[in-house]
A and B are shown apart, each in its own frame.
Chain A
């Protein structure tokens, strides 16, 4: 388990006290049921107090929590027969984006997701989910394949953004993202994306032009990271809290702007606290949304997708 987040420390301390007490009572054969119950009650109300009113910056930290379930966890918990497929057929296999085939409720689907990596070694291997052009091109290849075989595509978004560096520029980072946008806009199968953690700008949108945009309760989706925003505004990256407020990037904000279509509830305290429950919540939402999309004739599906994006924007 990773370090607790600053604001959940009182809760984590209380929880460890409870388990210590429980161990102690078992070891010594003492009956401490009453004491434990009192503390548990206290922990529950503390949990409500902390997680019932999270600030945007606190949500950001939960969204980036290193123990949060990732693409592979969902592939295992929600799907059957997952087969991973590699490479863009042109340059490389970018491990920052994974993809493949699986069965969802008995139906073949294509699944694609950003992967940050959990330990240091994996994080480096996956470049912290900063994909290069070949990552987006792999995703596009798998989406075109899904279209050929008439299966829906489900994408899992969790990236700080597309990689910024010379190699990415040389190989056409911008072109790779743009091609994904135009391809997804016209893909003739149902598309759903789920922001499972961090939705970082163009690198997220490159998997995100979909019929339905689902967001986990504590995920966020932003045009710029709060750190970069603070640097631009105040030349001071430590003012992330303010930037997180200004950017209006939480799931309820995005629902208000017509970007997010459905918020998927998380266990109290965040998805990292209960993988099984988190996956069940998502599976339920996906089954319902996908069911509705599968009923639509292809022209209707594409028309609605067009209208969804066409209507986003505020002007006078």
Chain B
């Protein structure tokens, strides 16, 4: 199926990541939202949204690309993390993540078309070390933004992240500065950036490129914030009220533009993209 959708044959070798906890191998899964037994086939047909309660299950980067794009060609597929701090057990952690996800790192970037409109696109994957941002994630996002700037392409980034990649220390933190600096130049070129928050997005990713979109969209129920509920509880012993940090909470507090259901997302993106296409807008003669 991936083969039909994407141009380069190498994509068929990439196994789409399947969130293990929520999607055990087998015929069915229990919805984390309502407890309903859902058949995997049905669930996939419904873009991994529970038909009963609307819970949006997490998607892997490749699943997201597949439901969003007409076609896709990947950038920088081989960029690989090192262990610059010689942090204990980091290499083993990376090896395990590669093995489990089939991904080389926590973000897939490239170029493709959304209903015929060419875009530069990046999708983070929370299955790879929680989608945390180390040097490679930062570099890939940065190159994506630079290519979009150079080729005057609209930019879409789907975020999901636990935050910084602790094992890369200060280098991880500086990726926030690096990606934001690239976006400053992108903005100067007058180009369109749509940021889509998916569940969950926290820390350095929220506090950099994901919050800097011209338009910020989130999927229903996605948890979005700076500090995660556990961090808040541990540092200031504050228990967050139910519903805090959801997409809806963020929208209510004026922090994002709109909450869009997965089934409508491609349409919404297409509309926004078309509204920003240059060229043939002519005012009726008067």
A residues with CB within 8 A of B: 162, 164-166, 168-175, 177-179, 181-182, 185-186, 201-202, 205, 208-209, 221-224, 229, 231-232, 246-249, 253-254, 257, 259, 305-306, 309-310, 312-316
Please report the C-alpha to C-alpha distance between residue A125 and residue B197 in the assembled complex, in whole angstroms.
35
Instruction: Indicate the member of A164, A306, A316 with the most B CB atoms within 10 Å.
Output: A164
Contact, CB under 8 Å: B175 / A259:
no
The majority secondary structure among interface residues of chain B is: helix
Q: How many angstroms from the CA of A169 to the CA of B245 in the assembled complex?
A: 7
B244 interface residue (CB < 8 Å to A):
yes
| Residues in B neighbouring A309, C-beta threshold 8 A | 174, 177-178, 181
B180 within 8 A of A: yes
Chain A residues closer than 8 Å to B236, beta-carbon distance? 164-165
B170-A249 in contact (CB<8A): yes
Instruction: Establish whether residues B207 and A178, one from each chain, have CB atoms under 8 Å apart when the complex forms.
Output: yes
Report if A169-B226 is in contact (Cβ < 8 Å); known contacts: A248-B85, A306-B185, A316-B82. Answer: yes
Q: Which residues of chain B have C-beta atoms less than 8 A from A162's C-beta? A: 207, 226-227
Contact of A224 among B138, B164, B176, B181 (CB under 8 A): B164
Complex CA distance for A168 and B235, rounded to whole angstroms: 13
Could you mark each residue 77-88 of chain B with 1 if its beta carbon is under 8 Å from any beta carbon of chain A, else 0?
001111011011
Q: Which residues of A contact B263 (CB under 8 A)?
A: none
- Bound CA span A182–B87, Å: 30
Q: 6 A-B Cβ contacts within 8 A?
A: A166-B244, A182-B183, A202-B226, A310-B178, A312-B171, A314-B135
B181 engages A306 (CB within 8 Å): yes
The interface bits of chain B over 195-216 (1 if a CB of A lies within 8 angstroms of the residue's CB, else 0) are 0000000011011111110000
Which A residues are CB-close (under 8 A) to B207? 162, 173-175, 177-178, 181, 202
B172 at interface by CB-CB < 8 Å = yes
Given contacts A202-B207, A209-B180, contact A315 B226 (CB under 8 A): no
Contact B175 A313 (CB under 8 A): yes
The total of Cβ contacts below 8 Å across the A-B interface reads 175
Could you tell me if B174 and A315 are in contact, using CB atoms closer than 8 angstroms? no
Q: How far is the CB of B37 from chain A (nearest CB, A)?
A: 35
Please measure, in the bound complex, the distance between the C-alpha atom of A231 and the C-alpha atom of B233, giving whole angstroms: 14
- In the complex, the answer to whether A222 meets B139 with C-beta atoms within 8 Å is no
CB of B238 closer than 8 Å to a CB of A:
yes
Nearest B residue to A170 via CB reads B253
With both chains docked as a complex, state the minimum distance between the C-beta of A185 and any C-beta of chain B, in angstroms.
Answer: 4
Complex: how many Å from CA A201 to CA B208?
13
B172: contacting residue among A164, A177, A223, CB under 8 A: A223
Residue in B142, B164, B170, B255 whose Cβ sees the most chain A Cβ within 10 Å: B170
A242 (CB) vs chain B CBs: closest residue: B88
Contact B204 A202 (CB under 8 A): yes
Q: Is residue B34 within 8 Å, beta carbon to beta carbon, of the partner chain?
A: no
Most buried by A among B204, B208, B211: B211
Check if B272 is an interface residue, CB within 8 A of chain A.
no
B177 partner residues in chain A, CB cutoff 8 A: 181, 185, 205, 208-209, 309, 312
Bitwise, B155-166 to A at CB < 8 A (1) or not (0) is 000000000101
Given contacts A164-B235, A202-B207, contact A313 B135 (CB under 8 A): yes
How many angstroms between the C-alpha atoms of A229 and B184 in the bound complex? 32
What chain B residues lie within 8 Å of A315 (beta carbons)? 79-82, 135-136, 139
Q: Kindly identify which residue among A172, A246, A316 contacts B253, using a CB–CB cutoff of 8 Å.
A: A172
> In the assembled complex, how far is the CB of residue B54 from the closest CB belonging to chain A, in whole angstroms?
24
Do B255 and A175 touch across chains, with their CB atoms under 8 A apart?
yes
Query: Is B154 positioned at the interface, with any CB of A under 8 Å from its CB?
Result: no
User: How far is the CB of A102 from the nearest CB of chain B, in Å?
Assistant: 26
The reply to whether B238 and A165 form a contact with Cβ atoms under 8 Å apart is yes
> In the complex, which residues of chain A have a beta carbon less than 8 angstroms from the beta carbon of B178?
309-310, 312-313
Is B53 among interface residues, defined by CB-CB distance under 8 A? Answer: no
Residue among B87, B135, B164, B235 with most chain A CB within 10 A: B235
Please indicate the chain B residues that have their CB under 8 angstroms from the CB of A229 in the complex. Answer: 166
Residue numbers in A under 8 Å from B142 (CB-CB): 310
B225 touches A169 (CB 8 A): yes
B173 at the interface (CB under 8 A from A): yes
B232 within 8 A of A: yes
* Cα distance, A245 to B81, chains bound together (Å): 21
Point out the residue from B79, B170, B212 that lies within 8 Å of A254, measured CB to CB.
Answer: B170
- Inter-chain CA distance A197–B135, complex, in Å, is 25
User: Do residues B166 and A174 form an inter-chain contact, with CB atoms below 8 A?
Assistant: no
B241 located at the interface, meaning its Cβ lies under 8 Å from any Cβ of chain A in the complex = yes
Using A316-B80, A316-B82 as known contacts, say yes or no to A166 and B238 having CB atoms under 8 A apart.
Answer: yes
Assembled-state Cα–Cα distance A246/B166 (Å): 10
Question: B185 to chain A: which residues have CB within 8 Å?
Answer: 186, 306
Distance, CA A48 to CA B168, complexed state (A): 32
Contact B226 A177 (CB under 8 A): yes
With A164-B236, A169-B232, A315-B139 already in contact, 5 other A-B pairs whose C-beta atoms are closer than 8 Å: A202-B173, A205-B177, A313-B136, A313-B171, A316-B79
CA distance A128 to B25 in the complex (A): 49
A246 touches B206 (CB 8 A): no
B81: chain A residues within 8 A (beta carbon): 315-316
- When C-beta atoms are compared, the residue in chain A nearest to B208 turns out to be A178
The minimal Cβ–Cβ distance linking B42 to chain A, given in whole angstroms, is 35
* B85: contacting residue among A172, A178, A247, CB under 8 A: A247
**B255 and A172 form a contact (CB under 8 A):** yes
A179 to B168, CA, bound (A): 24
Residues in chain A near residue B238, CB distance under 8 A: 165-166
